[in-house]
């Protein structure tokens, strides 16, 4: 009976140790995959916004319509470089490819997608 208890203990300990190692090893990869998925979804929203902005009626109603379907933690704004708080590099990158959603990482902010 003692050997069986030791075997159960060692098996459980090994399984927990293996699970902990896998969590530590896979956490950065999973975080990167989640970030890429969020950027992809943001690019889709920005593509819809860019297409709708070409229609007459102004920016305000289009942004209000898109905000209704977005989760509360997602912000959607329109404006100039200063109003949006973009840095010069992000603005230059957006100007270089007009109409195309660009993912930008700026210090102190969550991942951002912009369209010029």
Model pLDDT for residues 11-35, shown as the tens digit of each residue = 999 999 999 999 999 999 998 898 8
pTM: 0.54
Q: What residues contact 47, with CB distance under 8 A and at least 6 apart?
A: 101, 115
Determine what percent of the chain falls in helix, strand and coil, rounding each to the nearest 5: 65, 5, 30
Model pLDDT for residues 99-109, shown as the tens digit of each residue = 777 777 777 77
């Amino acid at each position: 009976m003692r050997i069986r208890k030791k075997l159960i203990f060692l098996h459980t300990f090994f399984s927990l140790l293996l699970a902990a190692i896998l969590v530590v090893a896979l956490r950065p990869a999973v975080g990167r995959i989640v970030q890429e998925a969020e950027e992809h979804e943001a690019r889709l929203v920005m593509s819809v916004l860019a297409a709708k902005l070409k229609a007459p009626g102004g920016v305000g109603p289009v942004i209000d319509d898109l905000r209704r379907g977005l989760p509360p933690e997602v912000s959607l704004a329109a404006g100039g470089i200063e109003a949006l708080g973009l840095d010069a590099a992000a603005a230059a990158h957006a100007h270089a490819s007009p109409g195309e959603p660009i993912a930008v990482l700026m210090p102190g902010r969550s991942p951002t997608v912009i369209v010029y």
